[in-house]
Amino acid sequence: MRRVTVLGATGSIGQNTLDLIARAPGAYRVVALTGGRNVAQLAADARRLQAEIAVIADETRLDDLRQALDGSGVAAAAGRAAVIEAASRPADWVMSAIVGAAGLAPGLAALEQGATLALANKESMVCAGPLMLATARRHGGTLLPVDSEHSAVFQALVGEDIATVERIVITASGGAFRDWPLEQLAEATPEQAATHPNWDMGQRITIDSASMFNKALELIETKEFFGVDPARIEAVVHPESLIHALVGFCDGALMAHVGPHDMRHAIGYALHHPDRRPLPVARLDLAALGQLTFRPACEVRWPALRLAREVMQTGGLAGAVFNAAKETALDAFIARRIRFTEMTGVVEAVLTRLSAHPGHNVDDITLDKVVEADHLARVTAQEIVQSR
Ligand code: NDP
């Protein structure tokens, strides 16, 4: 039986992962499930799947979790350290689906115990790509992408020589505001931004789709994951979101990965890798679809894409600073302290202020350095938000 752990089990990716695991009774032994605050969902899933341990990151909810698990035989724990401990329990396959930079340390802990880490948490690669890859190499772990675009690129590269890759094109739906007049964007509310035209995802990533901060993170993730020159990585708007990414080769061939809007494809590919197994996702009827369309990813409408290019060029800890500043700006937008269109300005100001900070461009990225850069960027972003 394969031992599996799901970090961020209560979220959108986590729930899709549990759906696949629950469909194969007897194939998996669930080691640990973790959640952030949602005790009821975590306890229900831990009971149903007979996990060894359920961990809630919010320490104030430990008593609630204990009560909800009473008599189930599932152990309960709480707090950040307990999440990391859960990730480091021996498991063959670990899903990293905590949202934000909080997912980095647990993901590293899973790699350190030699697990295959299915990485939905793109922030880990953005903040510390070289550290993630080095940790996997050192401990014999495997890193598999779960973001649909990166899973698509990964699949298109099977059997190919990365040196023959001319370009990688990742697609973007354009999010909630792709057709809004530019002058209306300043009035956009968090509720409007959290409505995705195609995908059903968590609130934060959905708002990041509207601002394209999500695509900006994915451009950086592409560079880190596949080690490709940033000049060879591009984004294109594809409103149907059915082609997830394309890889262009030196002979002019462009390999596209096409699939429905269902994260269980990318999750299932990572779960069964290197095999392909049947998955409960819809099959596309191409004739019924009729057409697939593309538009340029305009950097005036989505300035986050321009910032991503700067971050990729700078390297070092710029990704960690970018992500932390973005998370703080997003919190401020959700709390209605800044406008939708102000998020990029906050992130750019943080990148500019911290670019002269010693260590910003270091190549030897450690967890401590990432944590420090992340903290500094959040404090700086808070100051900038308050001064507005
Ligand atoms: P959700 O917001 O739906 O879920 C996030 C998960 O992380 C929940 O389990 C949440 O717990 C938990 N969590 C939140 N904060 C903390 C914390 N500080 N410590 C520990 N756990 C925490 O997010 P998604 O599932 O949408 O996304 C997860 C990751 O996958 C993100 O990095 C996202 O960018 C990436 N991703 C998501 C896709 C999607 O389709 N949703 C597609 C591709 C990538 P709780 O809910 O209990 O508070």
| Distance of alpha carbon 328 from alpha carbon 213, whole angstroms | 12
Q: Which structure tokens are listed for 339? A: 């406008």
| 63, 42 contact by CB (below 8 A) | no
What's the CA-to-centroid distance between 7 and ligand 1, angstroms? 9
For β-strands 243-249 and 165-172, DSSP reports them as antiparallel
For position 27, what pLDDT does the model report?
97
Q: Which residue has the tokens 């949602």?
A: 38
Average pLDDT over residues 192-207: 89
Which atom of ligand 1 is least distant from the CA of 204? 2
* The pair of three-digit structure tokens given for residue 291, joined into one six-digit string: 């057409």
Inter-residue contact 128 to 150 (CB < 8 Å):
no
**Residue 106: per-residue pLDDT:** 98
Beta strands in the chain (DSSP E): 2-7, 28-35, 53-56, 75-78, 93-96, 116-119, 142-145, 165-172, 233-237, 243-249, 254-258, 295-296
**360 pLDDT above the threshold of 90:** no
Q: Kindly list the distances between the CA atom of residue 245 and the CA atoms of 172, 204, 218, 251, 255, in Å, as whole numbers in the listed order.
A: 9, 22, 11, 18, 8
- Nearest Cα residue to atom 7 of ligand 1: 98
pLDDT the model gives residue 388:
86
| Terminal C-alpha separation, the chain | 55
Distance CA 147, CA 209 (A): 13
pTM of the predicted model as reported, rounded to 2 decimal places: 0.96
Q: Answer yes or no: is the C-beta of 354 below 6 A from any ligand 1 atom.
A: no
Calpha distance 39→212 (Å, rounded): 31
| 3-class DSSP state of 361 | coil
**Measured between alpha carbons, how far is 17 from 267 in angstroms, rounded to an integer?**
6
The finding on whether 116 has its CB within 6 A of some atom of ligand 1 is no
DSSP label at 140? T
Q: Give the distance (Å) from ligand 1 centre to CA of residue 42.
A: 13
Bin 188: left if φ > 0, else alpha if -120 < ψ < 50, else beta.
beta
Q: Is 233 helix (H, G, I), strand (E, B) or coil?
A: strand
- Atom of ligand 1 lying closest to residue 38 CA: 47
Q: Residue 324, Cα to own-chain centre: how many angstroms?
A: 14
Whether 186 contacts 339, CB under 8 Å: yes
Report the separation in Å between the CA atom of 121 and the middle of ligand 1, taken as the mean of its atom positions: 8
Polymer length in residues for the chain: 388
Helix, strand, coil percent values for the chain (each to nearest 5):
50, 15, 35
Domains by residue range for the chain, with CATH: 2-145 (3.40.50.720), 147-260+292-307 (no CATH), 315-388 (1.10.1740.10)
**What percent of the chain has pLDDT above 70?**
99
Dihedral sign for Cα 358, 361, 363, 369, please: positive
Instruction: Report whether 51 contacts 32 (CB < 8 A).
Output: yes
The vertex-81 CA angle with 78 and 82, nearest 5°, equals 40
- Whether 224 lines ligand 1, by a CB cut-off of 6 Å, is no
Chain-centroid distance, C-alpha 147: 6
pLDDT tens digits along 255-314: 999 999 999 999 999 999 999 999 999 999 999 999 999 999 999 999 999 999 999 999
CA of 102 to the centre of ligand 1 (A): 10
Q: Give long-range contacts, CB 8 A cutoff, 24+ apart: 338-342.
A: 338/385, 338/388, 339/186, 339/187, 339/188, 340/177, 340/185, 340/186, 340/187, 340/188, 340/189, 340/193, 340/210, 340/211, 341/185, 341/186, 341/188, 342/388
Write out the two tokens for 47.
């009971």
Of 13, 124, 204, 218, the residue with max ligand 1 atoms within 8 A of its CB, to mutate for a pocket test, comes to 13
Ligand 1 centroid from CA 87, angstroms: 15
Q: Which atom of ligand 1 is nearest to the CA of 83?
A: 20
Ligand 1 pocket test: pick from 18, 37, 60, 98 the residue with the most ligand atoms within 8 Å of its Cβ.
98
Confidence of residue 200 (pLDDT cuts 50, 70, 90): confident
330 CB under 6 A from ligand 1?
no
Longest dimension (CA), the chain: 62
Atom of ligand 1 nearest to the CA of 13: 25
Which segment of 14-23, 63-72, 358-367, 373-382 scores lowest on mean pLDDT?
A: 358-367
Whether 37 is in the pocket of ligand 1, judged by its Cβ within 6 Å, is yes
Q: What average pLDDT does this structure show over 164-170? A: 98
